[in-house]
Amino acid sequence: MIISSANDYREAARRRVPPFMFHYADGGSFAERTLERNVTDLADLALRQRVLKDMSKLDTEIELFGEKLAMPAVLAPVGACGMYARRGEVQAAQAAENKGIPFTLSTVSICPIEEVTAAIKRPMWFQLYVLKDRGFMKHVLERAKAAGCSTLVFTVDMPTPGARYRDRHSGMSGDYKEIRRTLQAVTHPFWAWDVGIKGKPHTLGNVSAYTGKAVGLDDYVVWLGENFDPSISWKDLEWIRDFWDGPMVIKGILDPEDAKDAVRFGADGIVVSNHGGRQLDGALSSARALPSIADAVKGDIKILADSGIRNGLDIVRMLALGADATMLGRAFVYALGVAGKAGVENMLDIFKKEMHVAMTLTSNQKISDITRDALVDLSKL
Ligand SMILES: Cc1cc2nc3c(=O)[nH]c(=O)nc-3n(C[C@H](O)[C@H](O)[C@H](O)COP(=O)(O)O)c2cc1C
């Protein structure tokens, strides 16, 4: 199959990765309306074409939390990412490093923190969930600190997991899941060899190191369900802010009032995100939520945005809506599933080229030039 875009990677991943893993990434919660709108609301934003402004010297670089980024994108935390390619988190982190952007390791990764940081020189970002077991949170934070992670991404939109109906249909969860997954592996030999056999152990590296026993994919959903803490409030986050010396980013903000709370709390950044449409179906798309959040807090705190970004044009759109940088989720997961590190590198090259086109034809030479002016207000036409 010829690959020229992230959408091509999605279709190739559909064939190469067994359905239980493909749909785990591809799916969202409930009726998947927010997932769908994340993509269509962004794609529907009209870019304002301008010409003849000498765009020969484009610059996509930014500085974020004292780090240089070759483009305004960070690889988002993705749980069980190591199931998309052999030791997948290591491969994705190396790809991000080679392309000059940070990689964020999920709490619930396959590879433990130290396995990934040993494979890269660039400081990694680490994502933490709010969990009932505060001992676990402290334990992983200490390890992330010791391993030199630079930025903490604190995900707050999962006090309880959203219902992912697709996972029951695909064999990720539900009746006969083990046998269904084995049958799927048999019919996907590339994945079975690369990940199923050579990619072991398939345990959640960070969780297993804490519990002292192997917590595998089957225990994953159960463990998450039991450990998410619906009682969490801003007050519970204070010890983490005091404990973590580096930049702290709150991920999962979708409302200007919550964004203002994040500023009051003293966070360094927020991620405007609905978790890629995997939590509250019916919530606003990030593209819709972002402008009023930017109006409320731009300049007081760094604004990252994700959910629905499928090409470099979408990155420019998110910046035009008020983001300082973006996070990429599914787009890199599909590429990882198809071709590992090389796939993620190629996808990032594609996104950068797409950004170049969008910046040239909206006449924005550097990232800080991109404002809402890069978009056409369709309501006024
Ligand atoms: C398979 C999968 C697993 C995810 N796991 C996590 C996670 O462990 N922690 C987290 O904060 N977000 C997680 N997310 C959400 C992503 O970090 C990101 O917010 C989302 O993928 C962005 O939307 P997009 O995929 O449409 O780009 C996950 C997303 C996917 C697709």
Tell me what pLDDT residue 9 has.
98
Q: What is the mean predicted confidence (pLDDT) over 156-167?
A: 90
Residue nearest to atom 28 of ligand 1 (CA): 78
What are the b/e assignments for 88-100, b being 16+ CB within 10 Å? bbbbbbbbbbbbb
Q: What mean pLDDT is predicted for residues 99-114? A: 97
User: Which residues, 6+ apart, have CB-to-CB distance to 293 below 8 Å?
Assistant: 253, 254, 255, 256, 259, 270, 272, 303, 322
Q: Which pLDDT belongs to residue 130?
A: 83
Q: Helices 19-26 and 330-361 sit at what angle, rounded to 10 degrees? A: 50
Contact 145, 244 (CB under 8 A): yes
Task: With a cut of 90, say whether residue 337 has pLDDT above it.
Answer: yes
Q: Are strands 125-129 and 73-75 parallel, antiparallel or unpaired?
A: unpaired
Both ends of the chain: CA-CA distance in Å?
Answer: 40
Residue 212 has a pLDDT of 84
Percentage of the chain exceeding pLDDT 70: 100
The whole-number average pLDDT for the span 131-148 is 93
| Ligand 1 neighbourhood includes 171 CB (under 6 angstroms) | no
User: By CB neighbour count within 10 A (0-12 exposed, 13-18 middle, 19+ buried), where does 47 fall?
Assistant: middle
Q: Is 275 a catalytic residue?
A: yes
Give the pLDDT of residue 209.
Answer: 85
pLDDT, residue 134, reads 87
Query: What is the 74 CA–ligand 1 centroid distance (Å)?
Result: 12
- Pocket of ligand 1 contains residue 27 by CB under 6 Å: no
Condensed to tens digits (0 to 9), the pLDDT of residues 7-48 reads 999 999 999 999 999 999 999 999 999 999 999 999 999 999
Q: What is the C-alpha separation between 359 and 381, in angstroms, rounded?
A: 23
> Looking at the predicted structure, is the pLDDT value of residue 99 above 90?
yes
- Ligand 1 site, residue 99, Cβ cutoff 6 A: no
What is the reported pLDDT for 224? 75
Q: How far is CA 123 from CA 150, 246, 266, 299, 372, in A?
A: 6, 12, 22, 25, 32
Cα angle 203-207-210, degrees, rounded to a multiple of 5: 125
Would the CB of 329 count as within 6 Å of ligand 1?
yes
127 CB near ligand 1 (under 6 Å): yes
Distance 160 CA to ligand 1 centre (A): 15
* Total Cβ atoms within 10 A of residue 378: 9
Query: Taking 80 as the threshold, does the pLDDT of residue 220 lie above it?
Result: no
Over residues 256-298, the pLDDT tens digits come to 999 999 999 999 999 999 999 999 999 999 999 999 999 999 9
pTM (two decimals):
0.98
Q: Where does residue 202 rank: exposed (0-12), middle (13-18), buried (19+ CB within 10 A)?
A: middle
The neighbouring-strand residues paired with 185 are none
**Atom number of ligand 1 nearest to Cα 309:** 27
CB count in 10 Å sphere of residue 1? 9
- Decide whether any atom of ligand 1 lies within 6 Å of the 343 Cβ: no
Per-residue model confidence as pLDDT tens digits over 308-322: 999 999 999 999 999
Is the pLDDT at 91 greater than 80? The verdict is yes
- Determine the distance separating the centroid of ligand 1 and the alpha carbon of 49, expressed in angstroms: 32
User: Quick one: tokens of 29?
Assistant: 């919660």
Pocket-testing residue among 140, 275, 314, 317, ligand 1, by greatest number of atoms within 8 A of Cβ: 275
Separation of alpha carbons 365 and 57, rounded Å: 7
pLDDT at 132 over 90: no
Strand order in the sheet with 269-272: 73-75, 325-328, 302-305, 269-272, 248-253, 152-155, 125-129, 104-105
SS3 content of the chain, % helix, strand, coil (to 5): 50, 15, 40
Measured from the Cα of 307, ligand 1's closest atom is 23
Q: Is the CB of 340 under 6 A from ligand 1?
A: no
Contact 277, 35 (CB under 8 A): yes
The confidence band for 215, taking pLDDT boundaries of 50, 70 and 90, is: confident
Asked if residue 19 has its Cβ within 6 Å of ligand 1, the reply is no
Which ligand 1 atom is nearest residue 38's CA?
A: 26
User: pLDDT above 90 covers what percent of the chain?
Assistant: 85
* Per-residue pLDDT at 207: 87
| 217 pLDDT higher than 80 | no
What distance in Å separates the CA atoms of residue 48 and residue 373, rounded to the nearest whole number?
Answer: 7
| Nearest by Cα to 73 from 378, 247, 315 | 315
Cα within 13 Å of Cα(138), Cβ side: 9
Report how far residue 284's alpha carbon sits from residue 290's, in angstroms, rounded to the nearest whole number: 10
Nearest-CA residue for ligand 1 atom 8 is: 79
Look at ligand 1, atom 13, and give the residue with the nearest C-alpha. 78
Residue 201: asked if its preceding bond is cis (omega within 30°), the reply is yes
pLDDT of 218 strictly over 90: no
Q: Find the 82 Cα to ligand 1 centroid distance in Å.
A: 14
Q: Is any atom of ligand 1 closer than 6 Å to the C-beta of 177?
A: no
Nearest Cα residue to 249 out of 206, 171, 302: 302
